[in-house]
Amino acid sequence: MGPNCRFAAIPAVESKEKGKSMRSKYNGKIFSTDSKVLRRIGICFLVLVAGFLGLTALASLKKPPAEVQVGERPIKVEVVEAQPTDHQVMIIGYGEARAIDHVVISPEVSGRVTKVHSRLSVGEVIESGDLLFAVDERNYRASFDEARAAVRQLELSIQRLEQQQRIDTNRLKTLERSRELARAEFERLRRLFEEDSVGTRSGVEQAERAFNAADDQAAQLAQAVSLYPIRIQEAKSQLASAQARLSLSRANLARCRVNAPFTGRLTAVSLEEGQFAVAGQPALTLADDSVLEIQVPLDSTDARRWLRFDGAGNTEGGAWFSALAPVPCRISWTEDKEGHSWQGQLHRVVQFDQKTRTLTVAVRIKAAAAVKIRPEGLPLVEGMFCAVKIPGRVLSNVIRLPRQAVSFENTVYVADDGRLNTVDVAVARIEGDYAYVSRGLDGGALVVTTRLVDPLENSLLDIGSRPSGGAS
């Protein structure tokens, strides 16, 4: 070995000693770490044991639940007992009350309005015969006086002609006698002169002239007498014309004052005092509230099946509905159906509308029946929208059920020995909250009225109340 080998062995010995010291230090650290981990594990174990013991203690304090016997759960329902009965069908419709008569009053003569009624306002009730308004009558009175004078003049003319006719008739008899005498005198003188040569020709000619003059006067007067009837008839025709003008003048004079034709309510007024009224221009509208009418559109199917016609035909050759039976109808104000109701009467068929498939009927009510039913109530007046119940035909041997008891497929649920069964039925009519069954149910059957959603057939039922379903 050379000198370098000696120096190389020294570092190896030193490194061996350093490794021993480092291992001793590392082993001390590992021992201290393991003791801590073991201590933590012990604490966790103790906590778990304590929790388990506590949970076990708490569980021992709880009583076990009672054992329940599981069985079929019933469906709680309410039922009604089916009872066949007769039902009076009620057809319900709606309409507005209207007065039958609405009269538009217009002046028949033109002129300035000189007077109007003190209560000429919309809504006021005017008594029959009261003056509504007056038109200046001076021009019409002058025309009346003129026509009356013309009539009097013609009447006097006729009297004069008739008197003259009587006088001339008597004169004609005198002239005819004078003519006969003049003819006799002429014939006598002519025979004496021609046969006996007595007298002169001038005497005969003079007698002839006297006869011709008497004959001419008699002829003229006879012509005048024969024309008197024609002249009198002409005068009478003129008198009739004058009397017509007098009648027109009298009517125009009377038309200057317009009175109420009946007791009515003013619904429109367009006239004031001092205004110039034009003949034919509407001035006011008067409504007669003594009889009100409600025109009610009904479904044509309901009308066909349930309305009662008396079977009496119409006028010969008329293709229209026969008369309706005048049954009493209940009228209710839609704003207060329970507090305001009156009784009217079915009157007639108004029209049939193919587009809407409705039959319109009229229900009338008189003023005495339309008055207020209690001191704080209101009367039935024009403009009220009303519900009308019209009695129709009678459904025989039907069962009344609540509407919810019948499905849209026309089936009902029946309780049979405490079990649920589904039954098909025939519904004759649905009216309000009730359905009327004509076939499918027997009397005494228990019909379920509780709403059920897809129940199982033959389910067990817990039946509650059992009211009768037959009373209408």
Structure-block tokens of residue 185:
């005198």
Structure-block tokens of residue 27:
């082993």
- pLDDT value for 75: 87
Q: What angle do CA 366, 371, 376 make, to 5 degrees?
A: 165
- pLDDT value for 436: 93
d(CA 436, CA 398): 6
d(CA 23, CA 359): 118
User: Residues 6 or more apart from 17 whose CB is under 8 A from it?
Assistant: none
d(CA 381, CA 289): 8
Local structure of residue 33 (DSSP, 8 states) = H
Structure-block tokens of residue 293:
């009418």
Residue type, 166: R
Structure-block tokens of residue 246:
């007098």
Strands annotated E in 407-456: 411-416, 419-424, 426-431, 434-439, 446-448
User: Residues 6 or more apart from 45 whose CB is under 8 A from it?
Assistant: none
d(CA 269, CA 258): 14
- Per-residue pLDDT tens listing for the chain (472 residues): 444 444 444 444 444 455 555 555 545 555 556 677 787 888 888 888 888 888 787 777 777 666 666 667 888 999 999 999 999 999 999 999 999 999 999 999 999 999 999 999 999 999 999 999 999 999 999 999 999 999 999 999 999 999 998 998 898 888 889 888 888 888 888 888 888 777 788 888 888 888 889 888 888 988 888 898 999 999 999 999 999 999 999 999 999 999 999 999 999 999 999 999 999 999 999 999 999 999 999 999 888 889 988 765 555 557 788 888 899 999 999 988 777 889 999 999 999 999 999 999 999 999 888 886 666 778 899 999 999 999 999 999 999 999 999 998 999 999 988 899 999 999 999 988 899 999 999 888 999 998 888 888 888 888 876 665 554 4
Q: Which of 244, 230, 228, 232 is nearest to 151 (CA)?
A: 244
- pLDDT value for 9: 41
Cβ contact 451:404 at 8 Å = yes
Cβ contact 185:207 at 8 Å = yes
Helix and strand totals (H; E) in the chain: 5, 20
Structure-block tokens of residue 317:
């050759």
Structure-block tokens of residue 424:
């098909």
Cβ contact 178:219 at 8 Å = no
Cβ contact 344:368 at 8 Å = no
Cβ contact 329:415 at 8 Å = no
